[in-house]
């Protein structure tokens, strides 16, 4: 059974960089797309972007200028960096495995439990 677990600081100061790592267990990170998705308090889910195991990425245009997703296949991990954060970036951040894809357009069939990140001074 594939399992994903998000890790990283739960509190980030405004204007700094939010960094999270997703560790994949129970399966290889190879040959899949891997996404980050977030949900601000009281709001809906927002897809942030994905990375293919080979390293190719694609990001939501609304966040593209501030987002970097990277992968470390040797550790079976992928990571999210979000720069210049504000209070609006406070959210539960989920990592997920993508499946049922067509040209990178996917659904997510395995998700982590989520990590709450609060942006506050």
Going 58 to 15 to 95 to 90, the CA torsion angle's sign is: negative
> What gap in Å lies between CA 42 and CA 118, rounded to an integer?
14
Q: Tell which one of 51, 110, 115, 117 touches other proteins (CB under 8 A).
A: 110
Q: In angstroms, what is the minimal distance from the CB of 110 to other proteins?
A: 8
Q: Tell which one of 12, 22, 112, 117 touches other proteins (CB under 8 A).
A: 112
Nearer to other proteins, 9 or 104 (CB): 104
Would you say 36 and 30 are in contact if contact means Cβ atoms under 8 Å apart? no
Would you say 4 and 23 are in contact if contact means Cβ atoms under 8 Å apart? yes
Name the residue among 105, 79, 101, 98 with its Cα closest to residue 2: 98
61 binds other proteins (CB under 8 A): yes
Q: Tell which one of 46, 68, 73, 76 touches other proteins (CB under 8 A).
A: 46
Site for other proteins in 5-34 (CB under 8 A): none
Mask 78-107, x = binds other proteins (CB under 8 A)? ----------------x-x---x-x--xxx
Two structure tokens written together for 7: 């890790």
Give, as one character, the DSSP assignment of residue 87.
Answer: G
Q: Which residues bind other proteins (CB under 8 A)?
A: 4, 43-47, 60-62, 94, 96, 100, 102, 105-114
């Amino acid at each position: 059974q594939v399992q994903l677990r998000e890790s990283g600081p739960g509190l980030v100061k405004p204007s700094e960089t939010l960094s999270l790592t997703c560790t994949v267990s129970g399966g290889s990170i190879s040959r899949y797309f891997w996404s980050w998705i977030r949900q601000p308090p009281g709001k809906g889910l927002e897809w942030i972007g994905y990375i293919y195991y080979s390293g190719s990425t694609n990001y939501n245009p609304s966040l593209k200028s501030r987002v970097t997703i990277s992968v470390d296949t040797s550790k079976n991990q992928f990571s999210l960096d979000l720069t210049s954060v504000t209070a609006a970036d406070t959210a539960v951040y989920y990592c997920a495995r993508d499946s049922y894809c067509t040209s990178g357009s996917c659904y997510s069939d395995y998700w982590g439990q989520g990590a709450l990140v609060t942006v506050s001074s």
